[in-house]
Chain A
Amino acid sequence: MTLLQICEWLESTRLAELVTQSLYGFQIVVAVHLMGLGLSVGTVIWFDLRLLGKVLQTTPVSEVYRRLAPWMLAGFTMMFASGAVIFVGFATAAYANPYFRVKLAVIALAGVNAVLFHFFTQRRLAGWDAWAYPPAAARVAGAVSIASWIVVVLAGRMMSYTMF
């Protein structure tokens, strides 16, 4: 089964019908997606800015993460769940859209950046947790994350104008 065939199958499901045919289904899911975007990217940016040493310099990095994590998790759950539902409704159009591919690639980049930070840079967190300016590897992770999410937001909006 090719990716395109999977997309065609997704569009034939009951969920896709709910998204595309119901009176307010699409609008509600998109509204949840936008709110999830504001909550997720709007809070992850503060952790990234802390890694860059731009805010909350006297607060340990681990505490900033601990305080923001529930909000980030809630936002990303809202954003990815609603995004998946929208995708099911318009899978073949999204599959062919270049901005969707850019968006997915950059989300993957943000994911790899987060994994690398978690498994390598964060391992030595105890040594620099309270530093006002974290080490270069942490600052690079913060910068890559901010840049990635900015591209995701821009590509996501460009996608909606070139798909429908």
Chain B
Amino acid sequence: MMDAALSWYQNTALASTVGSSPTLTAMLSALHALGFTFVMGGALFANLGRLGVLFPGRPVRDLTIPGSKLIALGLAFSLPTGLMLVAPRATAAGHNTFFGLKMLFLVLAAAVQFGLLRRDTRAIGAAGLALWLGLAAAACAFILLE
């Protein structure tokens, strides 16, 4: 089922357009990297805030709300560009361990960040930070080792 969906996606016009244009691929990758930077910035700010490391004594909401907004902005860049970038190699990516890890970390990190937005405990901060850094590490491994 998953293989069929990935195979269909890899054979769409979008996949062939992206795959045949190095310039488009480079532009999408540049926007993907910009989104990654925003996500990391937001994740560090919000979760180091929850941990009481960045601005101890300040209301944690002053950090988690803007931090989560920057993460959301980063994801608005990263998700659509990532979907387009993976299109020409969807089948291979679907079988890549690091890509699977990247998606797992993304789902878990987003669930912790946005699902538990009002719970400002140190444990949530530590879990959030670990998951976003795990996402970054898996993303690096995917692009560099595939």
Contacts and interface: CB of A to CB of B under 8 A. Distances in A.
Interface stretch (B9-17, B23-31, B105-113): B23-31
B27 A158 contact: yes
Given A38-B40, A153-B34, A56 B62 contact: yes
Interface string B34-49: 1011111111110010
Contacts of A38: 36-37, 39-41, 44, 136
Interface in A1-57: 26-27, 30-31, 34-35, 37-39, 41-43, 45-46, 49, 54-56
B34 A150 contact: yes
Contacts of B36: 34, 38
A73 to B, nearest CB: 14
Interface size class of chain B, counting residues whose CB lies under 8 Å from the partner chain = 20 to 34
Contacts of B30: 153-158
Interface size class of chain A, counting residues whose CB lies under 8 Å from the partner chain = 35 or more
Interface in B24-78: 25-27, 29-34, 36-45, 48, 54-55, 58, 62, 66, 70
A39 B39 CA distance: 10
Nearest to B27: A158
Contacts, number: 89
B34 A158 contact: no
A154 B22 CA distance: 15
B4 interface: no
B140 A35 contact: yes
Of the listed residues A34, A35, A158, the one surrounded by the most CB atoms of chain B closer than 10 A to its CB is: A34
A124 interface: no
Interface in A63-82: 63, 67-68, 71
A30 B42 CA distance: 22
A46 B29 contact: no
B31 A154 contact: yes
Nearest to B42: A42
B72 to A, nearest CB: 14
A93 B46 CA distance: 39
B104 to A, nearest CB: 19
23 contacts: A30-B144, A34-B33, A38-B44, A38-B136, A39-B40, A42-B37, A42-B38, A42-B42, A43-B41, A45-B70, A58-B62, A68-B54, A71-B48, A150-B34, A153-B30, A153-B33, A155-B30, A156-B30, A157-B26, A157-B29, A157-B32, A158-B30, A160-B29
